[in-house]
Amino acid sequence: MKPLFLIILLAVFSTSCKVDPEIKPELPAEGISEVIPEGWPQPYYRFTENVLTTDRFKLGRALFYEPMFSADNTVSCGSCHQQFAAFAHSAHQFSHGVDGRLGTRNAPALQNLAWNPSFMHDGGVNHIEVFPPAPITNTLEMAETLPNVVLKIGSSAKYQALFRKAYGDDTVTTQRMFKAIAQFMGTMYSYNSKYDQVKHGTASFTASEQSGYSLFVQKCASCHQEPLFSDYKFRNNGLAVNPTIRDSGRTHITRDLADLYKFKTPSLRNIELSGPYMHDGRYMTLMDCLNHYTNSITPGATLDPSLSTGIQMSTQEKTDIIAFLKTLTDPQFLTDKRYSEITP
Amino acid sequence: MRLSLFLMVLAVAVSCKKAAVAPPEDLPPLNGAPASNASLKLNISHVGNGNPLVLDPASTYTTTNGDTFSVKLFKYYLTNVKLTNLAGQVVTLPGTYFLVDESDPQSKAITLPNVPAGDYTGISFLIGVDSARNVSGAQTGALDPAHGMFWTWNSGYIMAKIEGSSPQSGNSLGDISFHIGGFSGVNKGIRTVTLPFPINAHVHAEHQTQVNMTGDVAKWFSGVNTIDFAFTFDVTTISSRSRSIADNYAGMFTVTSVVN
């Protein structure tokens, strides 16, 4: 076992809460355990009231890939959150729900969600366990009702067996489903990119990556804060309002005009693979994104003050920053079988 | 064994900081109060202008604005029940979360379990769900989001809901729809209701005392604030208008009798 991994494990055990002694945290391999990588802040969501077990995690994984969540049994969470795309929707500006209905926001990457204080681009969902009802009941996405989901899952022999293993009996409730999904989503950890290895001294940046990192720290990191590469705040980053969607952003939730056109700062981990980019998926490439910050910041009353004059970057600097951003790709996360769609 | 179990529980309780929030404002039962097997029955009848509420377009009720309306759906949360005893002490009944639905007779006959025996002079409860339970993740029972009383896109419970129609409604189909939510801030939909009993409720194990209470739907539109359906007919987000409705429904209940 690698020493770094041992250190992380030790750190986890020494900082993690003591739980019911009968349910021992299990080690990665088949199972899953809570991880707080060295140097990271405490996660926002802990598993103190949703004790991690391999069987609940596995139930959550099965539910994540379960199309019965949708009205016509065609769309699962995994349909629009694909592992190889860091659980974003590859090559999709917007995702299609049942009947080919199109949503109005880009499916974000999913990783390190235990550190997220809120969910959705507008932060409307306040807890990881109450995330699933949003896409399930959204008429543009899964367009299903919660009672129907309980009925469908509850009458499936496969799930009766999985619920018995996870909870001791086959009673299906939304609470059991959502807590199991929180075990799956809340343990999607990405912390082994080249960037992380450089931080731990087990790899080194190329000259271009190193230059890009220095520029990133100088020009980008005030919002995309290390080590999670987000401050989880809501900001207007100067995108021109899409006239067909007119998405008010955070104001949709707070009803406060001071929040107009503000969206949550996204993490940049695995950004190489999670495009298209921005809340409405308007940019296809990382260069498009950087060009936005140099060339096309739209002024407005709620524009983030840090962007009032845009960000100055030369073409070479952009190339270097992109080289650095690609070091945030975590191949282990993208291929980790524990997160993959399973065939039982 | 008992002791070691207790120590274990204590250890867990001490070492585990609760994730985000304190539990709902449950105070422990009164010091020295024995565990009780006595209960109290809370029977709720819904009325409109004093007449029984019927979920039927033909049954109409009148607001102080002079608007008439009918009701097809009426649901609300009644939670965090407390009783006041003769000594003036407030006794919290932990875990009291109920979803009252006009179309479900059982939901209007609430059993309050584990009430310490004694004489009580009044009751208080929340209309709505306390803020703690709005931010603590997946809930079950009365708080299961499958009951249709939970906003999925802006997490939080709908505290109370009324849907129906009115010829005065500004809606082209004559619909009126009020989904009142919000668990924090000035426009929140949670209201505390405190009601005296007309006579003391004598709670003891041998016999279940009944408290009969009415809730008047007309008060939603005619209490502190007069609602004009021409302008206010569809309130399904948190705003000063939802606050006005909540200020009104805070006054919809009356305890009509106590049967010991």
Region A136-157: mean pLDDT is 97
Residue linked to tokens 């845009």:
A310
| pLDDT, mean over chain B | 89
pLDDT tens for each residue of B117-168: 999 999 999 999 999 999 999 999 999 999 999 999 999 999 999 999 999 9
Surface of B (117-136) touching A: CB under 8 A: 134-136
pLDDT for position B37: 83
Region A64-78: mean pLDDT is 97
pLDDT for position A30: 60
Query: Rounded CA gap, A57 and A60, in Å?
Result: 5
Taking CB atoms and an 8 Å limit, are B137 and A124 in contact across chains? no
pLDDT for position A178: 98
Q: How many helices (H) and strands (E) does chain B have?
A: 3, 15
Calculated CA dihedral for residues A22, A25, A31, A36, nearest 10 degrees:
160
Task: Establish if B8 touches chain A: CB-CB under 8 angstroms.
Answer: yes
Percent of chain A with pLDDT over 70: 90
ipTM value: 0.87
Taking CB atoms and an 8 Å limit, are A255 and B238 in contact across chains? yes
Query: Rounded CA gap, A21 and A17, in Å?
Result: 11
Q: How many CA atoms lie within 13 A of A253 on its CB side?
A: 24
Residues of A in contact with B8 (CB under 8 A): 21
Taking CB atoms and an 8 Å limit, are A134 and B140 in contact across chains? no
pLDDT band at A8 (very low <50, low <70, confident <90, very high): very low
User: In Å, how far are A112, A334, A339 from A191, measured between CA atoms?
Assistant: 8, 11, 15
Q: A3-12, A198-207, A269-278, B204-213: which has the minimum mean pLDDT?
A: A3-12
Q: Read off φ and ψ for residue B75, nearest 5 degrees.
A: -140, 145
Q: What is the DSSP string of A115-171?
A: G-SSBSTT--B--GGGSTHHHHH-TTTT---HHHHHHHHHT-HHHHHHHHHHHSS--
Q: Which of A60, A78, A81, A70 is nearest to A141 (CA)?
A: A70
pLDDT tops 60 at residue A23: no
Task: Establish if B106 touches chain A: CB-CB under 8 angstroms.
Answer: no
Choose, out of A15, A49, A115, A126, the residue to mutate when testing the contact with B (most B CBs < 10 Å).
A126
Among A18, A20, A174, the residue with its CB nearest the CB of B138 is: A174
pLDDT tops 70 at residue A17: no
pLDDT band at A9 (very low <50, low <70, confident <90, very high): very low
pLDDT for position A343: 58
Query: Rounded CA gap, A247 and A270, in Å?
Result: 26
Indicate the DSSP class of residue B166.
-
pLDDT band at A74 (very low <50, low <70, confident <90, very high): very high
Task: Establish if B18 touches chain A: CB-CB under 8 angstroms.
Answer: yes
The domains of chain A, with CATH numbers, are 3-190+334-339 (1.10.760.10), 194-328 (1.10.760.10)
Query: Rounded CA gap, B179 and B243, in Å?
Result: 11
Task: Establish if B154 touches chain A: CB-CB under 8 angstroms.
Answer: yes
B10 CA: distance to closest CA in chain A (Å): 11
Taking CB atoms and an 8 Å limit, are A133 and B8 in contact across chains? no
Taking CB atoms and an 8 Å limit, are B150 and A50 in contact across chains? no
| pLDDT, mean over chain A | 91
Sign of the torsion angle spanned by Cα atoms B105, B99, A132, A48 = negative
Query: Rounded CA gap, B47 and B184, in Å?
Result: 29
pLDDT tens for each residue of A284-323: 999 999 999 999 999 999 999 999 999 999 999 999 999 9
Region B78-105: mean pLDDT is 97
Q: A3-12, A103-112, B133-142: which has the minimum mean pLDDT?
A: A3-12
Opening angle at CA A186, ends A325 and A117, nearest 5: 75
Task: Establish if B240 touches chain A: CB-CB under 8 angstroms.
Answer: no
Among A45, A134, A175, the residue with its CB nearest the CB of B140 is: A175
Residue linked to tokens 């029940």:
B81
Could you tell me the pTM of the whole model?
Answer: 0.87
pLDDT band at B185 (very low <50, low <70, confident <90, very high): very high
Taking CB atoms and an 8 Å limit, are A147 and B145 in contact across chains? no
Taking CB atoms and an 8 Å limit, are A126 and B155 in contact across chains? yes
pLDDT tops 80 at residue A155: yes
Q: A7-11, A177-181, A324-328, B70-74: which has the minimum mean pLDDT?
A: A7-11
Choose, out of B18, B136, B153, B237, the residue to mutate when testing the contact with A (most A CBs < 10 Å).
B153
pLDDT band at A32 (very low <50, low <70, confident <90, very high): confident
Query: Rounded CA gap, A309 and A293, in Å?
Result: 9
pLDDT for position B35: 61
Tell me which chain B residue has its CA closest to the CA of residue A146: B146
Taking CB atoms and an 8 Å limit, are B138 and A19 in contact across chains? no
A266 CA: distance to closest CA in chain B (Å): 19
A280 CA: distance to closest CA in chain B (Å): 17
Task: Establish if B16 touches chain A: CB-CB under 8 angstroms.
Answer: yes
Among B11, B16, B138, the residue with its CB nearest the CB of A179 is: B138
Taking CB atoms and an 8 Å limit, are A125 and B155 in contact across chains? yes
Task: Establish if B111 touches chain A: CB-CB under 8 angstroms.
Answer: no
pLDDT tens for each residue of A159-185: 999 999 999 999 999 999 999 999 999
Counting one residue from chain A and one from chain B, the pairs whose CB atoms sit within 8 A come to: 86
The segment with the largest mean pLDDT, out of B11-20, B30-39, B184-193, is B184-193
Tell me which chain B residue has its CA closest to the CA of residue A256: B239
Choose, out of A59, A174, A259, the residue to mutate when testing the contact with B (most B CBs < 10 Å).
A174
Region A243-256: mean pLDDT is 94
Judged by DSSP in three states, B241 sits in: helix
Region B166-174: mean pLDDT is 97
pLDDT for position A260: 98
Region A132-143: mean pLDDT is 96
B201 CA: distance to closest CA in chain A (Å): 37
